[in-house]
Amino acid sequence: MLAIENLHKVFQASGNTEVRAVDGINLSVEPGRLLTLLGPSGCGKTTTLRCLAGLERPDSGRIVIGDATVFDSAKGIFVPASDRGIGMVFQSYAIWPHMSVFENVAFPLRVARTRKYSSAEIKDKVRSALEMVRLGGFEQRSSTQLSGGQQQRLALARGLVHEPKVLLLDEPLSNLDAKLREQMRFELKHLQRTLRITTVYVTHDQAEALALSDEIAVFNAGRVVQRGSPQDIYSHPADRFVADFIGSANFLSGAVTREAGPDGFASVATAHGTFLCGFAQPVRPGQKVVVSARPEDLMLYPAAPPSDGLNTLAGTVAGRVFLGDVIDYMVDVGETQLRIRARPEHVFRVRDPVHIGIAPQKCVGLLA
């Protein structure tokens, strides 16, 4: 349904320096799927989305939506945003305060250049779009009288009213409070799955990306550094940047002492002991690497853990935060501090000596 090939976009910054906002991006999205572009501010994800929408003109590359090429630098093709058959929801919603709810949603149909809609068609399509987002009956209300969540749904209805081939969402939940944002995630996911509309979603919120996506493309410095399912990205990060950006992670530096054996695990020596962990790529003895483990994958013991193949460390509880269903611990291991998320069945106090166990299957080896 959508393909981006070798896309480049450079901006001129102060001092006549170049900023490579998009640096050779290649992406494709299958029909009905939701792909999230995830990364920190300034990584190129929003610029990529704006190039898709036709709001930015790339310097080079090719973009295909459906069976139509909408940009091709080699052939001089640039289709305007209004003719690309896309729907877009902005971070600010871009709701027109002087228009009613009905007129806000009807606007894309009234100004459409590809075809003319009759008054009856506009009425039917607007009501259908508002019903989809649970705003039926709000047609004549002023858009300024809507809550934040209702304004977000109104912007979504406007993006869907002309039945676009592709829906582009630029951080649409970022202006909502935490509880409403969580509720809207479920609504947005249900709507996208129901309509089976191909969607590209931009966010810097890892929880949003994990909750909504069929696939995630992690951006860094204008490039895609990893693409995969939410579970793959979280459990098998490609490098330290991805592991650190997606959720929380602990890191221990070390060097390979034994390459992967029949069990699939390589041995890594660190300042805190030797660890067995899995690598996505071959490693050799002596190679500098980093051992990564998620806080929820570390287990705390009041005494030495059983010798059942766990990687183990000894430390001292430096701090703790009660979060209801879990307790966040900070544990000093030598000069390194590890974060551990544990169930509150057994509560450790600050300055308690503890042992930490990490299953090799939960230990991810990354190239340094």
Q: Measure the CA–CA gap between 49 and 55, rounded to whole angstroms.
A: 9
User: What tokens appear for 273 in the block?
Assistant: 């002991």
- Please state the domain extents for the chain: 2-241, 248-298+311-367
What is this structure's pTM? Answer: 0.86
Close Cβ partners of 300 (under 8 Å, ≥ 6 residues apart): 329, 331, 340, 342, 346, 348, 354, 355, 356
CB-based contact 4:26 (threshold 8 Å): yes
Which pLDDT score is estimated for 228? 95
* Separation of alpha carbons 264 and 286, rounded Å: 18
Q: What is the mean pLDDT of each run of 10 residues along the chain (368 residues)?
A: 94 83 94 94 93 94 94 95 86 81 88 82 90 86 84 86 88 80 84 89 91 94 95 92 92 92 87 90 92 94 73 93 92 94 90 92 90
Q: Is 352 left (phi over 0), alpha (psi -120 to 50) or beta?
A: beta
Residue 110 is predicted with a pLDDT of 85
Q: What is the CATH number assigned to the segment(s) 2-241? A: 3.40.50.300
CATH class of domain segment(s) 248-298+311-367: mainly beta
Q: Tell me the sheet residues that pair with 167.
A: 87, 199
Per-residue confidence (pLDDT) for residue 309, from 0 to 100: 65
Question: For position 59, what pLDDT does the model report?
Answer: 95
Q: Taking a C-beta distance cutoff of 8 angstroms, is the pair 285, 256 a contact?
A: yes
3-state secondary structure of 23: strand
- pLDDT at position 139 is 86
C-alpha 221: how far from its chain's center?
Answer: 15
pLDDT score of 306:
66
Closest CA to 199 of 151, 207, 209: 209
